Structure formats: C-alpha cells, structure tokens
Amino acid sequence: MRGMKPAAKLAVALALASVTTFSLGQTTAPPQQGATSQSSGRAPIQTKTTAEYQAYQAAIANAKNPEAMEKAAEDFAAKFPDSAVRVLLYRSAMNAYQGAGNAQKMMDVGLKVLNLDKDDPEALIGVAEVMQEQTSPTDPDKASRSKRAIEYAQHALETIDTDLAVPAGTAAERVEAYKKTLRSTAFAIIGTVQYKQEQYADAEGNLRKAIDADSANPDPVVVLRLALALDQQNKYTEALQQANRAVELTQETTDVGKTARNERDRLVTMTRGSAPPSPSPQSSSSH
C-alpha cells in the first residue's frame, strides 16, 4: 500500500487493522447425549472422558501465554493423541501468538492445526494472513507465497460453513458473527495480495466483498486500501468517498489515519473538491 506501513492484522475478530483473532469458546464438555450439529456445519467438538475434559481445562488455562499455551497443547496431544479438542488447543496457541504480535510462531502453530484438520478455516486464514503480510516485493519466492496465501484464503471461504470447529455449547449467534469476521478477513487477504500484484480491478472486487461480509464492523485498513485501488484505476470520485470513510474510522494520530488523510487530500485535489468533504474531527471514531 502506497505510503502505508505493513498492515496490522485483520480482526478474525481476523483481521488487517488488527485481524486479532478470538477463540469461539474456552471450554468444552464431556460427552452429551444427543449432541447435534450446530450452524458451523459439523458436530460440536467435545471431550470423551472426564480425564480428557480435566486435562483440556488445565491446558486452556494458559490461553493468554503463547509459549505456555503451545506447550500445553503439545503435552495434551501427546497424552490424548486421538482427541478432537487438540485443534481447539492449538488454535488457542495460534491466537495467543497473534495477540502477542509473533507472526512467525502464529503461522507455525497454524500449520500444526492444518496438519490435524486441513479444512480448518481459522488456521487457513491465519496462515494466509501471515504469508500475505510477510511477503515483500523483493522476495525471490513472492509469486509462490502470494499464490499460496490466496489458495489458503479461498479454501477458507469454502470451509467456513462446513468445517468451523467449535466447542460444544457455543451460542449460534456467536458462531455466525465469527463467520462474518472470517469471511471478511479472507476476502481482504485476497484483495491485498491482488493489490500488491497491481491487479487493481480484482483487488477492488475482493476488498468490497471484505467490507460487505461484515458491514457492521468495517476495517479502516481495508477501506483505505479500497480507496487506493480505486485511485490506481483513476476512479477518483469513488476513491475519495472511500478515503473519506477511512478518515471517519480513524484518528489522525495513527499511521492509518495519517495515510487516510493524505490520500483524501490528494483525491480532493484530483477531483477539484467535487466529492463531499469528510466529517469534522469531532465525529471521527477511534480504532
């Protein structure tokens, strides 16, 4: 992105301005009679024995400490090699590393999740996000890394409704809200890769899908990147509308806010002020 530092993570609660992911649930329960499939498209994940349940509870207690959480997941997996909740523990470690800003470890643990479940959409998006963010124009393997990032994100879009693993008892509305964040993040990753590859029309389409997928929670980085993609296509009036929106969503003192205001000012000049002005600073919200 022109003039912008590498994007922060899209919230996968997953995302670029900060894809900080959140876990769908921190508990699971011993077997229940008649457990039914939830809106995730697969049966809820749950433990099979009391010993497994107690070990899970002890392991997940480390969720705020990435190194401890990863070790707890490894220890649990060694003790219960066939347990379905291993995915939840490794995912918690992945999210903890993301929250700590350790992208490489986030990807490493995300790949461990995919070794257990190649269709896990959260891990697919987490790995894709790191690949996208850490691939620079000078990397000799940038083409292959970018291709893999898009493939992971696209596969996540295919599996969000069918393979999202959630703990037993997770509220359906929480699952649906999380799916919106995952879809938004996946489209944003694809659009960002395309923007970097100067495929601006394709980037525009996917960045719009990212915003529409979770319209109640627009990511200012994605909105700004859409403005830049439109700018690159000489769609200055539309670009200014999006730049104004990015200004609304940010504070002037942030890096994204500064870039948004620079882009807005440039586009005002390009359009000779024909588009509506952005709101006053008093109405700006913080991110």
CA distances for 247 relative to 14, 44, 181, 210, angstroms = 21, 41, 22, 18
Task: Name the token pair of 11.
Answer: 């919230």
Band of the pLDDT at 146, cuts 50, 70, 90? very high
Q: Which residues contact 269 (CB under 8 A, 6 or more apart)?
A: none
Segment 148-153 mean pLDDT: 97
pTM: 0.79
Segment 179-208 mean pLDDT: 97
Domain 1-24+40-171 is classified in which CATH homologous superfamily?
A: Tetratricopeptide repeat domain (1.25.40.10)
Per-residue pLDDT of 43-77, as tens digits, reads 778 899 999 999 999 999 999 999 999 999 999 99
Please tell me the least confidently modeled range out of 41-55, 202-216, 237-251, 271-285. Answer: 271-285
Segment 107-127 mean pLDDT: 95
Band of the pLDDT at 20, cuts 50, 70, 90? very low
Q: Pick 202 or 40 by higher pLDDT.
A: 202
Model pLDDT, residue 169 = 82
CA 262 to chain CA mean position, Å: 26
Residue 28, pLDDT above cutoff 50: no
Residue 23, pLDDT above cutoff 60: no
For residues 49 and 89, what is the distance between their CA atoms, to the nearest angstrom?
17
Residue 271, pLDDT above cutoff 50: yes
Residue 7, pLDDT above cutoff 80: no
Q: Pick 284 or 43 by higher pLDDT.
A: 43
Q: Percentage of the chain surpassing pLDDT 70?
A: 80
For residues 38 and 42, what is the distance between their CA atoms, to the nearest angstrom?
7
CA distances for 248 relative to 9, 150, 212, 259, angstroms = 20, 30, 17, 13
Q: Considering the chain, what is the average pLDDT of its residues?
A: 83
CA distances for 265 relative to 213, 220, 279, angstroms = 28, 17, 13
Nearest Cα to Cα of residue 56 among 20, 35, 31: 31
Band of the pLDDT at 215, cuts 50, 70, 90? very high
Residue 39, pLDDT above cutoff 50: no
For residues 128 and 131, what is the distance between their CA atoms, to the nearest angstrom?
5
Segment 200-220 mean pLDDT: 97
Residue 5, pLDDT above cutoff 90: no
Model pLDDT, residue 283 = 43
Nearest Cα to Cα of residue 105 among 69, 141, 139: 69
For residues 19 and 148, what is the distance between their CA atoms, to the nearest angstrom?
19
Phi, psi of 163 (to 5 degrees): -130, 15
For residues 162 and 270, what is the distance between their CA atoms, to the nearest angstrom?
46
Band of the pLDDT at 41, cuts 50, 70, 90? low
Residue 25, pLDDT above cutoff 90: no
Q: Let me know: does 132 contact 146? Beta carbons within 8 Å.
A: yes
Map residue 15 onto helix, strand or coil.
strand
Q: Let me know: does 1 contact 10? Beta carbons within 8 Å.
A: no
Helices (H) and strands (E) in the chain, counts: 11, 0
Segment 35-40 mean pLDDT: 39
Segment 188-208 mean pLDDT: 97
